[in-house]
Amino acid sequence: MARAVRIKDIAEALGLSTATVSRAISTPGRVAEPTRSLVQAKAAEMNYRPNVQARSLRTQKSMSIIMAVRDIGNPFYLEVFKGAEAAAHDANYTVLMGNTENNPSREAEYFEMLRDGNADGMILMTGSIPDGWKGPNGSVVVALEMIEDGGFSQVVIDNAAAAQKAVDHLVAQGHRRIAHIAGPEGEGMSARRKAGFVAAMAAHGLTLPPGYLQPGDFGVDSGREATRALLALDTPPTAIFAANDEMAFGVLHEAQHQGLRIPDDLSVIGMDDIHLSRAVFPPLTTISQPRQDIGRHAMEMLLSQLGGTDDPQETLLPTTLIERATVARPRNEGTQP
Amino acid sequence: MARAVRIKDIAEALGLSTATVSRAISTPGRVAEPTRSLVQAKAAEMNYRPNVQARSLRTQKSMSIIMAVRDIGNPFYLEVFKGAEAAAHDANYTVLMGNTENNPSREAEYFEMLRDGNADGMILMTGSIPDGWKGPNGSVVVALEMIEDGGFSQVVIDNAAAAQKAVDHLVAQGHRRIAHIAGPEGEGMSARRKAGFVAAMAAHGLTLPPGYLQPGDFGVDSGREATRALLALDTPPTAIFAANDEMAFGVLHEAQHQGLRIPDDLSVIGMDDIHLSRAVFPPLTTISQPRQDIGRHAMEMLLSQLGGTDDPQETLLPTTLIERATVARPRNEGTQP
DNA sequence: TTGTAAGCGTTATCAT
DNA sequence: ATGATAACGCTTACAA
């Protein structure tokens, strides 16, 4: 393994001091013209790559941002990551993903990294902060899952408006008996989607019979179970809005298993527009979130806070309804339950 | 932000030298008993966390491993990552995922990190190495996608045997007209699955009519197109083995779109057992790869090579057939094409 | 504008 | 067994 080239090597090759070389590379403004381009040319020629460890040891800045997520195995976060990384890259920051797996001690670990200077900032997508955290909130931006009263900047999507879009679309097709399968109890995101659904139904003057609000946990199986319950009702719904796509897959599965035809016998709308939503049969009508935008916005906010000291801001990102093949007019339209 | 605790702080609090404290922490064997536990207790009490940047600057070891993949957005790699990380964690190594997006220059970047000492080793899953790489091959382990003649250690799954399992299963159900949708041309993995399929068919004495070997690119759409072609044949197959699950979804989609019932009119087997294979309708029969094992094995191999200088080894990991609901006996069994 | 030299936190060498 | 000290590669007062 050829030894990595250092500033010292360039300096010697050019008969300059390491200080000048360092300046020519990291603060080109502070060095005279002929020297500057000379150094930069030589550095490129020798294939010089700064030693980030040494640099951050000296500057006391790690130039890295932690993105803490619940489950690194969820492709959704990867899209957010891509957006965040693109924004960070331009500012020479590195993004590393931290996996908390809903484990408070792992979460605390990442906050420690922040405090110890192993990371300069954090994009928090876990929906919770360690007890007693009272660091400089400017180094944290909360995304996706809101945290109330923390004084953090936040980037979230408009969950209530998204639910409303789903209901509006269904109602426009003539549906009046619409049910909802909610996400995990106690999560703000699920609560907002549910509340948005309830509000939208009320706005259309539609009633919500008992059992039309099913609990779920964002997993396929819970979508299946909820559907079983829904279809066993005396007057089952003609349409179901699931709080995420995986539960919507459960709906498709169970309905087809019971011999119903989608969308003729039952309309379905999901939420998230995950990769496979267009691959299932029939292709799922769903609501898409601007995943990369979430990451990009959060990173831009964080970077700007890291510079000056902006006041905490809140960004609400819009969603889009993707019409595919799981929504049709109901068979017996207009029948109020 | 409270300043991070350094070795110096512990040393002062205890009236010892920084050297002793350092030793008590990183090489406890080299320090006498009363001192050792004293230091360790104090370090814990003061919540000391070593500065990894300083440490690796001094030791010239980064204690980090790059895992280079084609597409960081693919959940498959995340499972491999989890396995690798678990193994690395025990040895105090950090794993970071490098995204090449099939871009040779990004790939070369990660090899540079290796050469410059920004990483101590690499698990390579992209199936290619930069031209002219001739570093110490002991710091690289190839996983998943083989590289011929590189002198690298490899961890791969037995793709040919997997294809054979699929064919055996189908034949046991009475199928004789079996088609295959292959992965991208020129990729070793696809080639092996295809070769395994062809060999298994021959072993059962089954012929392969023209058109029964369809090209694909691992995407849903290519599975759809191949199915269209297959079903338009004079004697269409009674079963299809797709080289991955996404293409199998395309098969399900297109077949159902044409009014066929799965598995009664057509049997389907996929490969990979991705998360949603059990969520589609009908649940997909497929072949599962030991994802986490691949990562764990590769990391263990790498770590042991980083220590001594083992000769390059090869590990072949077995796969498992997961029976779900897309395979049944053919309607008109026994009809040779 | 450029050079000299100190220092970031840690470990390794050499004394004691 | 422990301590003093240099060194890792880089940036930044301060001096020239």
Longest dimension (CA), chain A: 89
B51 touches strand C (CB under 7 A): yes
Q: Given pLDDT bands bounded at 50, 70 and 90, which one contains residue B333?
A: very low
Q: Would you say residue A337 has pLDDT above 60?
A: no
Q: What mean pLDDT comes out for the span A257-275?
A: 95
Q: Provide φ and ψ at B291, rounded to 5°.
A: -55, -55
How close is the nearest chain A Cα to the Cα of B176, in Å?
27
Q: Would you say residue B286 has pLDDT above 60?
A: yes
- The CATH number of residue B37's host domain is 1.10.260
On the CB side of A266, CA atoms within 13 Å amount to 27
* Percent of chain B scoring above 70 in pLDDT: 96
- pLDDT, residue A76, reads 85
Please tell me the pTM assigned to this model: 0.84
Residue A193 shares a structural domain with residue A252: yes
Q: What mean pLDDT comes out for the span A20-30?
A: 95
B29 touches strand D (CB under 7 A): no
Q: Given pLDDT bands bounded at 50, 70 and 90, which one contains residue A333?
A: very low
Q: Given pLDDT bands bounded at 50, 70 and 90, which one contains residue B118?
A: confident
DSSP letter for A139, please. G
Report the domain count for chain B: 3
pLDDT in tens, A294-308: 999 999 999 999 987
Residue A183 shares a structural domain with residue A127: no
Residue B21 shares a structural domain with residue B136: no
What are the beta bridge partners of residue A94? A64
- Residue B212: inside a domain: yes
Residue B163 shares a structural domain with residue B276: yes
Cβ contact A112:A151 at 8 Å:
no
Residue A39 shares a structural domain with residue A85: no
Range name among A184-193, A263-272, B140-149, B218-227 with the lowest pLDDT average: B140-149
Identify nearest nucleotide to residue A59 by CA to C1′ distance.
D11
| DSSP secondary structure, B101-130, as one string | TT-HHHHHHHHHHHHTTS-SEEEE-SS---
- Residue A1: inside a domain: no
pLDDT in tens, B93-113: 999 888 888 888 888 888 888
pLDDT in tens, A215-230: 999 999 999 999 999 9
Q: What mean pLDDT comes out for the span B71-91?
A: 88
Structure tokens at B199: 């060999």
- The beta-strand segments (E) located in B101-259 are 121-124, 140-143, 153-157, 178-181, 213-214, 239-242
Which nucleotides of chain D does any protein CB come within 7 A of?
1-5, 7-13
- Asked if the Cβ–Cβ distance from A276 to B249 is below 8 Å, we say yes
Per-position b or e across B7-16, b if 16+ CB within 10 A of its CB? bebbbeebeb
- The CATH number of residue A135's host domain is 3.40.50.2300
- Asked if the Cβ–Cβ distance from A1 to B136 is below 8 Å, we say yes
- pLDDT, residue A276, reads 83
Q: What mean pLDDT comes out for the span B102-130?
A: 88
- Residue B2: inside a domain: no
Q: In what order do the strands lie in the sheet with B153-157?
A: B94-99, B64-69, B121-124, B140-143, B153-157, B314-317
- pLDDT, residue B332, reads 65
- Residue A210: inside a domain: yes
Residue B119 shares a structural domain with residue B267: no
Residue A183 shares a structural domain with residue A273: yes
- Residue B55: inside a domain: no
Cβ contact B55:B22 at 8 Å:
no
* Percent of chain B scoring above 90 in pLDDT: 72
Residue B146 shares a structural domain with residue B281: no
Q: What mean pLDDT comes out for the span A164-170?
A: 98
Within 59-118 of chain B, which residues have Cβ less than 7 Å from strand C? 59
- pLDDT, residue A332, reads 65
Query: CA-CA distances (angstroms) from residue A148 to A114, A211, A276?
Result: 21, 30, 33
Residue A206 shares a structural domain with residue A326: yes
Residue A121 shares a structural domain with residue A216: no
B56 touches strand C (CB under 7 A): no
Pick B2's closest partner by Cβ from A78, A115, A278. Answer: A115
- Residue B114: inside a domain: yes
Structure tokens at A260: 């119903």
Candidates B67, B137, B276, B292: best to mutate against A (most CBs of A within 10 A) is B276
In angstroms, the CA A97 to CA A66 distance is: 6
Q: What mean pLDDT comes out for the span B178-196?
A: 94
Q: Would you say residue B337 has pLDDT above 70?
A: no
Residue A249 shares a structural domain with residue A327: yes
Residue A165 shares a structural domain with residue A45: no
Q: What mean pLDDT comes out for the span A118-126?
A: 93
Q: Would you say residue B282 has pLDDT above 60?
A: yes
- Residue A213: inside a domain: yes
- pLDDT, residue B205, reads 97
Q: What mean pLDDT comes out for the span A82-99?
A: 91
In angstroms, the CA B235 to CA A138 distance is: 67
Give the SS3 label for residue A215. Answer: coil
Give the SS3 label for residue B11. Answer: helix
**Pick the residue with more confidence: A105 or A268?**
A268
- Residue A206: inside a domain: yes
Host domain of residue A314: 62-158+291-318
Range name among B58-62, B103-107, B200-204, B265-269 with the lowest pLDDT average: B103-107
In angstroms, the CA B228 to CA A73 distance is: 33
- pLDDT, residue B334, reads 43
